[in-house]
Chains A and B, each alone.
Chain A
């Protein structure tokens, strides 16, 4: 009879292990979900910031130093680093002339990496380029 009791206990332990495994899998998926969605949200934020400053550039005719610094800060808040504005119109142009906003930088995508059976939450740097052009309306 003792043998039977021991077997029953083992079954409960096994179910608990299964539940624990489920919990780990659910946590892993939550990490993946939040990682994927935060990436989408950050990239969308960067594009919206670029759009906002493009509209400012339209009315100014160029991207001035103050706006450039503010845009840099905003992009950094979305996780973009090594930011470059190379190719951006930084000198005032005439009404109707083309203006360019070129942003490039590095963004760390959060991913769940599997290395040798051990999973870890890590970052994967990817290059981001945002190019926009419009016409000066000042």
Chain B
């Protein structure tokens, strides 16, 4: 009788031990999953927010750089009846693009690494010819070329038919898992129009 009682007590104890252990393991797994999920979701939300932010900033910066030579516009209109839109100064437009973009990304510290200005192109259409001024790299190495309407394409693939600008930036973002850098580029092509 005593042996049976002892066996029963030990069985109950074993059961108790086992059920407790399952509870702790479950707790540990839930916490672990929640930690991983929280960190992952926070990083994804941050990543998506910054992706939208860089897209918006790039569009705003290229649009900011589109400053037409208003004097030349009215002069050509009075002289020929067809106004010509050209940049007031391509150098100034490049500087505006750089400064505007730099301001926009300044408040995203710790997200973009090795941010650089890849290319900025000003396309000036006059009649059938296009003058396109390219600024490359962070130093803004300038190169001016001439083409004809229909034969020049922006790097985004569009055929250039109007005075316009193209901007491209390059940056690294940090991989969530192994902290390595992933290089990303963003570009946009915008045309310059004047409302009458």
| Chain A residues in the interface with B (C-beta under 8 A) | 3-4, 7-8, 10-11, 14-15, 18-19, 21-22, 25-26, 29, 32-33, 36-37, 40, 43-44, 47, 51, 54, 58, 95-96, 98, 128-135
Contact = CB atoms under 8 A, between A and B. Distances in A.
Given A32-B38, A33-B41, A133-B64, 16 more contacts: A11-B19, A14-B20, A15-B19, A25-B34, A26-B30, A36-B38, A36-B45, A37-B41, A47-B53, A54-B60, A96-B88, A98-B96, A129-B107, A130-B107, A133-B96, A135-B67
Nearest to A19: B23
Secondary structure at the B interface, as helix, strand, loop or mixed, is: helix
Interface of A is mostly: helix
A47 B49 CA distance: 10
Q: Which 7 A-B pairs have the closest CB atoms?
A: A18-B23, A134-B64, A96-B67, A11-B16, A29-B34, A131-B103, A22-B27
Interface stretch (B7-15, B149-157, B163-171): B7-15
B183 to A, nearest CB: 24
Interface residues of B, number: 40
B38 to A, nearest CB: 5
A59 to B, nearest CB: 10
B44 to A, nearest CB: 10
A21 B64 CA distance: 55
Nearest to B88: A96
A110 B148 CA distance: 58
Contact of B9 (A3, A58, A134): A3
Contacts of A58: 64
Contacts, number: 98
Contacts of B41: 33, 37
Contacts of B60: 51, 54, 132, 134
Interface of B: 8-9, 12-13, 15-16, 19-20, 23-24, 26-27, 30-31, 34-35, 38, 41-42, 45-46, 49, 52-53, 56, 60, 63-65, 67-68, 70, 88, 96, 99-100, 103-104, 106-107
A132 B27 CA distance: 48
Contact of B45 (A7, A8, A29, A40): A40
A114 to B, nearest CB: 15
